[in-house]
Amino acid sequence: MIIQSERISLKHLLSIEALTDQEVMGLIRRGREFKRGAKWTPEKDQYFATNLFFENSTRTHKSFDVAEKKLGIEVIEFDAGHSSVQKGETLYDTVLTMSALGVDVAVIRHGDEAYYDELIESKTIQCAIVNGGDGSGQHPSQCLLDLMTIHEEFGSFEGLKVAIVGDITHSRVAKSNMQMLKRLGAEVFFSGPAEWYDESFEVYGHYLPLDELVETVDVMMMLRVQHERHADGEDTGFTKEGYHQQYGLTVERAAKMKKGAIIMHPAPVNRDVELADSLVEGLQSRIVQQMTNGVYVRMAILEAILAGRA
Ligand code: CP
Protein backbone atom coordinates (compact mmCIF):
# COMPACT_ATOMS: atom_id res chain seq x y z
CA MET A 1 0.00 0.00 0.00
CA ILE A 2 1.20 3.52 -0.80
CA ILE A 3 -0.48 6.57 0.71
CA GLN A 4 0.05 9.83 -1.18
CA SER A 5 -1.70 12.83 0.34
CA GLU A 6 -4.02 10.35 2.09
CA ARG A 7 -4.96 8.82 -1.27
CA ILE A 8 -5.13 5.04 -1.35
CA SER A 9 -3.40 3.00 -4.00
CA LEU A 10 -4.39 -0.65 -4.61
CA LYS A 11 -3.13 -3.30 -7.03
CA HIS A 12 -6.38 -5.33 -6.89
CA LEU A 13 -9.45 -5.49 -4.63
CA LEU A 14 -10.12 -9.15 -3.95
CA SER A 15 -11.28 -9.57 -0.35
CA ILE A 16 -12.02 -7.15 2.46
CA GLU A 17 -9.58 -8.84 4.84
CA ALA A 18 -6.68 -7.97 2.51
CA LEU A 19 -7.24 -4.26 3.18
CA THR A 20 -5.66 -2.47 6.13
CA ASP A 21 -7.87 -0.41 8.44
CA GLN A 22 -6.17 2.67 6.99
CA GLU A 23 -7.12 1.63 3.45
CA VAL A 24 -10.73 0.92 4.48
CA MET A 25 -11.09 4.28 6.22
CA GLY A 26 -9.38 6.04 3.30
CA LEU A 27 -11.81 4.51 0.79
CA ILE A 28 -14.81 5.45 2.95
CA ARG A 29 -13.50 9.01 3.34
CA ARG A 30 -12.90 9.30 -0.41
CA GLY A 31 -16.35 7.86 -1.18
CA ARG A 32 -17.85 10.56 1.02
CA GLU A 33 -15.76 13.21 -0.77
CA PHE A 34 -17.00 11.99 -4.16
CA LYS A 35 -20.56 12.17 -2.83
CA ARG A 36 -19.93 15.83 -1.94
CA GLY A 37 -18.75 16.48 -5.52
CA ALA A 38 -14.98 15.91 -5.38
CA LYS A 39 -13.32 15.37 -8.75
CA TRP A 40 -10.72 12.84 -9.83
CA THR A 41 -7.52 14.01 -11.49
CA PRO A 42 -6.46 11.13 -13.78
CA GLU A 43 -2.80 10.62 -14.55
CA LYS A 44 -3.50 9.40 -18.11
CA ASP A 45 -5.85 10.66 -20.83
CA GLN A 46 -7.64 7.36 -21.25
CA TYR A 47 -8.50 4.38 -19.03
CA PHE A 48 -10.56 1.32 -19.91
CA ALA A 49 -12.70 -0.78 -17.57
CA THR A 50 -14.84 -3.83 -18.20
CA ASN A 51 -17.50 -5.35 -15.98
CA LEU A 52 -17.52 -9.14 -16.38
CA PHE A 53 -20.63 -10.45 -14.67
CA PHE A 54 -21.14 -14.23 -14.78
CA GLU A 55 -23.84 -14.10 -12.11
CA ASN A 56 -26.88 -11.85 -12.18
CA SER A 57 -26.61 -8.38 -10.71
CA THR A 58 -28.41 -5.05 -10.81
CA ARG A 59 -26.77 -2.91 -8.11
CA THR A 60 -23.12 -3.95 -8.29
CA HIS A 61 -22.98 -4.11 -12.08
CA LYS A 62 -24.81 -0.88 -12.76
CA SER A 63 -23.20 1.12 -9.96
CA PHE A 64 -19.74 0.17 -11.26
CA ASP A 65 -20.99 1.31 -14.70
CA VAL A 66 -22.12 4.66 -13.26
CA ALA A 67 -18.94 5.06 -11.17
CA GLU A 68 -16.76 4.40 -14.22
CA LYS A 69 -18.72 6.87 -16.36
CA LYS A 70 -18.65 9.56 -13.64
CA LEU A 71 -14.84 9.21 -13.56
CA GLY A 72 -14.62 9.43 -17.35
CA ILE A 73 -13.35 5.85 -17.74
CA GLU A 74 -14.23 4.12 -21.03
CA VAL A 75 -16.43 1.09 -20.29
CA ILE A 76 -15.99 -1.95 -22.54
CA GLU A 77 -19.35 -3.71 -22.57
CA PHE A 78 -19.41 -7.45 -21.95
CA ASP A 79 -22.37 -9.83 -21.96
CA ALA A 80 -21.36 -13.42 -21.15
CA GLY A 81 -24.43 -14.70 -23.01
CA HIS A 82 -23.27 -13.10 -26.28
CA SER A 83 -19.53 -13.63 -25.87
CA SER A 84 -17.15 -16.46 -26.69
CA VAL A 85 -17.93 -17.88 -23.25
CA GLN A 86 -20.72 -19.58 -25.20
CA LYS A 87 -18.02 -21.30 -27.32
CA GLY A 88 -16.22 -22.61 -24.25
CA GLU A 89 -13.92 -19.67 -23.48
CA THR A 90 -12.75 -19.88 -19.87
CA LEU A 91 -12.78 -17.03 -17.36
CA TYR A 92 -8.99 -16.96 -17.57
CA ASP A 93 -9.11 -16.54 -21.36
CA THR A 94 -11.81 -13.85 -21.19
CA VAL A 95 -9.70 -11.82 -18.75
CA LEU A 96 -6.50 -12.51 -20.70
CA THR A 97 -8.26 -11.14 -23.82
CA MET A 98 -9.45 -8.00 -22.02
CA SER A 99 -5.93 -7.45 -20.70
CA ALA A 100 -4.45 -7.90 -24.19
CA LEU A 101 -6.94 -5.33 -25.53
CA GLY A 102 -5.54 -2.80 -23.05
CA VAL A 103 -8.25 -2.87 -20.39
CA ASP A 104 -6.92 -1.40 -17.13
CA VAL A 105 -9.42 -2.87 -14.69
CA ALA A 106 -11.81 -5.83 -14.82
CA VAL A 107 -14.64 -5.91 -12.29
CA ILE A 108 -15.68 -9.56 -12.03
CA ARG A 109 -18.60 -11.37 -10.44
CA HIS A 110 -18.40 -15.15 -10.61
CA GLY A 111 -20.03 -18.10 -8.86
CA ASP A 112 -16.72 -19.76 -7.92
CA GLU A 113 -15.18 -18.76 -4.61
CA ALA A 114 -11.70 -17.21 -5.02
CA TYR A 115 -12.00 -17.39 -8.85
CA TYR A 116 -9.41 -14.59 -8.88
CA ASP A 117 -6.50 -16.70 -7.59
CA GLU A 118 -5.47 -18.01 -11.02
CA LEU A 119 -5.92 -14.55 -12.57
CA ILE A 120 -3.59 -12.74 -10.20
CA GLU A 121 -1.01 -15.54 -10.40
CA SER A 122 -0.81 -15.10 -14.18
CA LYS A 123 2.29 -13.36 -15.48
CA THR A 124 0.48 -12.44 -18.72
CA ILE A 125 -2.70 -10.85 -17.37
CA GLN A 126 -1.87 -7.20 -16.70
CA CYS A 127 -5.23 -5.69 -15.78
CA ALA A 128 -6.27 -5.05 -12.18
CA ILE A 129 -9.04 -7.26 -10.75
CA VAL A 130 -11.89 -5.93 -8.62
CA ASN A 131 -13.99 -8.66 -7.03
CA GLY A 132 -17.69 -7.90 -7.55
CA GLY A 133 -18.63 -11.05 -5.60
CA ASP A 134 -17.24 -14.60 -5.64
CA GLY A 135 -19.84 -17.27 -4.85
CA SER A 136 -20.43 -17.36 -1.10
CA GLY A 137 -16.93 -15.94 -0.54
CA GLN A 138 -16.56 -12.16 -0.39
CA HIS A 139 -18.23 -8.98 -1.59
CA PRO A 140 -15.70 -6.26 -0.70
CA SER A 141 -17.30 -3.35 -2.56
CA GLN A 142 -20.68 -4.07 -0.87
CA CYS A 143 -18.89 -4.16 2.49
CA LEU A 144 -17.29 -0.78 1.79
CA LEU A 145 -20.60 0.81 0.80
CA ASP A 146 -22.22 -0.65 3.91
CA LEU A 147 -19.41 0.75 6.05
CA MET A 148 -19.73 4.13 4.35
CA THR A 149 -23.47 4.14 5.11
CA ILE A 150 -22.87 3.26 8.78
CA HIS A 151 -20.11 5.87 9.02
CA GLU A 152 -22.38 8.56 7.56
CA GLU A 153 -24.94 7.70 10.23
CA PHE A 154 -22.82 7.24 13.34
CA GLY A 155 -19.41 8.79 12.49
CA SER A 156 -17.48 5.79 13.87
CA PHE A 157 -17.65 2.01 14.33
CA GLU A 158 -16.22 1.74 17.84
CA GLY A 159 -18.75 0.19 20.21
CA LEU A 160 -21.59 0.10 17.66
CA LYS A 161 -23.85 -2.93 18.00
CA VAL A 162 -24.60 -4.53 14.62
CA ALA A 163 -26.92 -7.51 14.07
CA ILE A 164 -26.43 -9.60 10.91
CA VAL A 165 -29.59 -11.61 10.39
CA GLY A 166 -30.68 -14.36 8.01
CA ASP A 167 -28.99 -16.66 5.50
CA ILE A 168 -25.48 -16.05 6.81
CA THR A 169 -23.67 -19.16 5.54
CA HIS A 170 -24.53 -18.41 1.91
CA SER A 171 -23.95 -14.65 2.11
CA ARG A 172 -20.70 -13.16 0.85
CA VAL A 173 -21.94 -9.78 2.14
CA ALA A 174 -22.16 -11.20 5.68
CA LYS A 175 -18.66 -12.73 5.46
CA SER A 176 -17.06 -9.44 4.42
CA ASN A 177 -19.06 -7.35 6.88
CA MET A 178 -18.54 -9.51 9.97
CA GLN A 179 -14.77 -9.48 9.45
CA MET A 180 -14.38 -5.76 8.91
CA LEU A 181 -16.97 -4.56 11.44
CA LYS A 182 -15.26 -6.57 14.18
CA ARG A 183 -11.85 -5.23 13.14
CA LEU A 184 -13.10 -1.64 13.23
CA GLY A 185 -14.39 -2.03 16.78
CA ALA A 186 -18.10 -2.81 16.30
CA GLU A 187 -19.82 -5.49 18.38
CA VAL A 188 -21.30 -8.05 15.96
CA PHE A 189 -24.28 -10.27 16.69
CA PHE A 190 -25.97 -12.89 14.54
CA SER A 191 -29.47 -14.29 14.28
CA GLY A 192 -31.53 -16.34 11.84
CA PRO A 193 -32.12 -20.04 11.08
CA ALA A 194 -29.65 -22.35 12.85
CA GLU A 195 -29.07 -24.27 9.59
CA TRP A 196 -27.73 -21.06 8.01
CA TYR A 197 -25.32 -20.36 10.84
CA ASP A 198 -21.83 -21.74 11.33
CA GLU A 199 -19.70 -21.97 14.46
CA SER A 200 -16.82 -20.36 12.56
CA PHE A 201 -18.70 -17.04 12.79
CA GLU A 202 -18.16 -17.04 16.59
CA VAL A 203 -14.74 -15.49 16.00
CA TYR A 204 -16.55 -12.31 14.97
CA GLY A 205 -19.65 -12.24 17.19
CA HIS A 206 -22.36 -14.18 18.98
CA TYR A 207 -25.71 -15.65 18.05
CA LEU A 208 -28.74 -14.31 19.94
CA PRO A 209 -32.51 -14.63 19.47
CA LEU A 210 -33.88 -11.98 17.10
CA ASP A 211 -36.39 -10.57 19.60
CA GLU A 212 -33.57 -9.92 22.05
CA LEU A 213 -31.33 -8.26 19.44
CA VAL A 214 -33.90 -5.99 17.89
CA GLU A 215 -34.23 -3.87 21.04
CA THR A 216 -30.52 -3.38 21.65
CA VAL A 217 -28.61 -2.94 18.39
CA ASP A 218 -27.77 0.21 16.42
CA VAL A 219 -27.89 -1.53 13.03
CA MET A 220 -30.25 -4.30 11.91
CA MET A 221 -28.51 -5.74 8.82
CA MET A 222 -30.97 -8.12 7.18
CA LEU A 223 -29.75 -10.60 4.54
CA ARG A 224 -31.47 -11.94 1.45
CA VAL A 225 -32.47 -15.60 1.51
CA GLN A 226 -30.06 -16.92 -1.16
CA HIS A 227 -32.30 -19.46 -2.89
CA GLU A 228 -29.85 -19.78 -5.79
CA ARG A 229 -27.14 -21.08 -3.43
CA HIS A 230 -29.30 -23.69 -1.72
CA ALA A 231 -28.83 -27.24 -3.00
CA ASP A 232 -31.19 -28.25 -5.82
CA GLY A 233 -34.45 -29.48 -4.39
CA GLU A 234 -33.37 -28.55 -0.84
CA ASP A 235 -36.46 -28.01 1.25
CA THR A 236 -35.69 -25.03 3.46
CA GLY A 237 -38.81 -25.88 5.44
CA PHE A 238 -39.95 -22.23 5.44
CA THR A 239 -42.95 -20.62 3.85
CA LYS A 240 -42.43 -16.92 3.08
CA GLU A 241 -44.82 -15.94 5.86
CA GLY A 242 -43.28 -18.47 8.26
CA TYR A 243 -39.76 -17.13 7.63
CA HIS A 244 -40.95 -13.55 8.00
CA GLN A 245 -42.63 -14.22 11.34
CA GLN A 246 -39.74 -16.25 12.76
CA TYR A 247 -36.63 -14.53 11.36
CA GLY A 248 -37.80 -11.43 9.51
CA LEU A 249 -38.00 -7.80 10.56
CA THR A 250 -41.74 -7.43 10.95
CA VAL A 251 -43.42 -4.07 11.52
CA GLU A 252 -43.95 -5.10 15.15
CA ARG A 253 -40.27 -5.95 15.66
CA ALA A 254 -39.12 -2.75 13.94
CA ALA A 255 -41.28 -0.74 16.36
CA LYS A 256 -39.12 -2.11 19.19
CA MET A 257 -35.83 -0.87 17.67
CA LYS A 258 -34.09 1.74 19.77
CA LYS A 259 -34.23 5.41 18.82
CA GLY A 260 -31.70 6.19 16.08
CA ALA A 261 -31.19 2.56 15.09
CA ILE A 262 -31.18 1.86 11.35
CA ILE A 263 -32.21 -0.95 9.01
CA MET A 264 -29.86 -2.13 6.26
CA HIS A 265 -30.11 -4.82 3.55
CA PRO A 266 -27.72 -5.35 0.61
CA ALA A 267 -30.73 -5.89 -1.70
CA PRO A 268 -32.41 -7.17 -3.73
CA VAL A 269 -34.95 -7.49 -0.92
CA ASN A 270 -37.51 -10.27 -0.83
CA ARG A 271 -40.21 -7.95 0.44
CA ASP A 272 -42.30 -9.37 3.30
CA VAL A 273 -39.71 -12.12 3.77
CA GLU A 274 -36.53 -10.62 5.25
CA LEU A 275 -38.33 -7.42 6.16
CA ALA A 276 -41.82 -6.00 5.87
CA ASP A 277 -42.56 -4.26 2.56
CA SER A 278 -43.47 -1.01 4.34
CA LEU A 279 -40.07 -0.87 6.10
CA VAL A 280 -37.98 -0.99 2.91
CA GLU A 281 -38.46 2.73 2.16
CA GLY A 282 -39.41 3.70 5.73
CA LEU A 283 -37.72 6.26 8.00
CA GLN A 284 -35.44 3.75 9.73
CA SER A 285 -34.27 2.22 6.44
CA ARG A 286 -30.96 3.14 4.81
CA ILE A 287 -31.40 0.69 1.90
CA VAL A 288 -31.80 3.37 -0.80
CA GLN A 289 -28.83 5.27 0.69
CA GLN A 290 -26.77 2.05 0.51
CA MET A 291 -27.45 1.82 -3.24
CA THR A 292 -26.55 5.49 -3.78
CA ASN A 293 -23.38 5.15 -1.70
CA GLY A 294 -22.39 2.18 -3.85
CA VAL A 295 -21.64 4.53 -6.74
CA TYR A 296 -19.40 6.81 -4.66
CA VAL A 297 -17.46 4.12 -2.83
CA ARG A 298 -16.90 2.35 -6.17
CA MET A 299 -15.52 5.61 -7.58
CA ALA A 300 -13.08 5.58 -4.64
CA ILE A 301 -12.15 1.95 -5.35
CA LEU A 302 -11.55 2.64 -9.06
CA GLU A 303 -9.48 5.73 -8.27
CA ALA A 304 -7.32 3.68 -5.88
CA ILE A 305 -6.92 0.87 -8.42
CA LEU A 306 -5.93 3.24 -11.22
CA ALA A 307 -3.52 5.05 -8.86
CA GLY A 308 -1.99 1.62 -8.27
CA ARG A 309 -1.28 1.31 -11.99
CA ALA A 310 0.27 4.76 -12.38
N1 CP B 1 -26.19 -6.16 -3.30
C2 CP B 1 -25.86 -6.72 -4.49
O3 CP B 1 -24.77 -7.28 -4.67
O4 CP B 1 -26.85 -6.61 -5.43
P5 CP B 1 -26.75 -7.13 -6.92
O6 CP B 1 -26.71 -8.65 -6.86
O7 CP B 1 -27.98 -6.61 -7.61
O8 CP B 1 -25.48 -6.63 -7.51
State in Å: Cα 44 to ligand 1 middle: 31
Q: Which of 225, 220, 213, 210 is nearest to 269 (CA)?
A: 225
Predicted confidence at residue 235, as pLDDT, reads 66
Predicted confidence at residue 265, as pLDDT, reads 98
> In three state form, how does the secondary structure of 34-95 look?
HHCCCCCCCCCCCCEEEEEECCCCCHHHHHHHHHHHHHCCEEECCCHHHCHHHHCCCHHHHH
Ligand 1 binding site (Cβ under 6 Å of any ligand atom): 57-61, 133, 142, 266-268
Predicted confidence at residue 2, as pLDDT, reads 43
Regions in the chain scoring below 70 on pLDDT = 1-5, 232-235
Q: Which of 190, 184, 178, 189 is nearest to 159 (CA)?
A: 184
Predicted confidence at residue 230, as pLDDT, reads 84
**133 Cα nearest atom in ligand 1:** 3
CA angle 205, 291, 309 (to 5 degrees): 85
pLDDT tens-digit series, residues 247-263? 999 999 999 999 999 99
Predicted confidence at residue 227, as pLDDT, reads 82
State in Å: Cα 147 to ligand 1 middle: 16
State in Å: Cα 48 to ligand 1 middle: 23
**62 Cα nearest atom in ligand 1:** 8
**109 Cα nearest atom in ligand 1:** 8
Residue to substitute in 16, 60, 227 for testing ligand 1 pocket (most ligand atoms within 8 angstroms of CB):
60
State in Å: Cα 25 to ligand 1 middle: 22
pTM of the shown model: 0.95
Predicted confidence at residue 4, as pLDDT, reads 44
